[in-house]
Amino acid sequence: MDKFIILKPNDKLLLKEFYKLYSQAFPDDNERESLANLTYYLLKKDDKNKYHILVLKRDNVIVGGAIFDYLSKISSGIIEYIFVDKTLQQRGTGKLILSEVLKILKQDAEKDGKTFKYLFCEIDDPKYRRLDDRYYFSFWKKNGLKKLDFNYFQPPLEEGKDIVDKLFIVVKPQDNSKQSIDREELKTFLESFFEFCFEIDHARESEIFKKNTDYLPQNIKLLPLEMYDTKQLDK
């Protein structure tokens, strides 16, 4: 039997259980947050933006989850991490988690008095993954996300960690007819994301923001992920 749980600050044992599976799914220390950091964000209060850790339990065992945020300023969501136990991949569990994430984000927007606009997600550039480890890429293709056509630099997750330059920002507009995102909208997303999730004060003045935005065109194209996938792994 499946059960979704949104973690609260006092769910310490469940968070540790979640963290074990999360660490296996994201082995790169520069791309993975510490347990202390996740605990800190669960305790963080914000009137508008929302931080969520979602756990999926199946027969009382954690089989997957997601870490994601609602960003009020752009009335959109960003999935930082989503994962499924390797033994259950390609069986619909990821889609189940994604559907629950979207439901929660749309509820956040409704409570905020706004219409939900975009689902963003950070994913690995597939050229840095083994050919037998790119099934995640097919997952995002099948669910209709597209790559934003710009070079993304993720700020360090914590002190002592590095900037990550091997990630894509992919997006799914709620308006399926959109083929691009306006430069100011993307800047607003990055500003909100960096300030809320990385705690960069006055993000637009930061070097990492400028590194991401100095050479943006007026409209940033949404590119099909097929352009970047060197193997057809979803057959």
The domain made up of 2-227 has a fold known as Aminopeptidase (3.40.630)
Q: DSSP string spanning 82-137?
A: EEE-GGGTTTTHHHHHHHHHHHHHHHHHHHTTS---EEEEEEE-GGGS-GGG-HHH
| Lowest pLDDT segment from 19-23, 103-107, 213-217, 218-222 | 19-23
pLDDT band for position 232 (cuts 50, 70, 90): very low
pTM score, two decimals?
0.91
Residue 185 has pLDDT above 70, yes or no: yes
pLDDT band for position 133 (cuts 50, 70, 90): low
144 conformational bin, left if phi > 0, alpha if psi -120 to 50, beta if neither: left
| Lowest pLDDT segment from 48-62, 146-160, 220-234 | 220-234
Do 142 and 235 touch, CB atoms closer than 8 A?
no
| Lowest pLDDT segment from 102-116, 126-140, 145-159 | 126-140
pLDDT band for position 235 (cuts 50, 70, 90): very low
pLDDT of 28: 80
pLDDT, tens digit, 9 for 90 and up, residues 48-92: 999 999 999 999 999 999 999 999 999 999 999 999 887 766 677
The rounded distance, in Å, linking the Cα atoms of 97 and 3 is: 11
Q: What is the DSSP letter of 150?
A: S
Average pLDDT value for residue range 28-40: 89
pLDDT of 119: 98
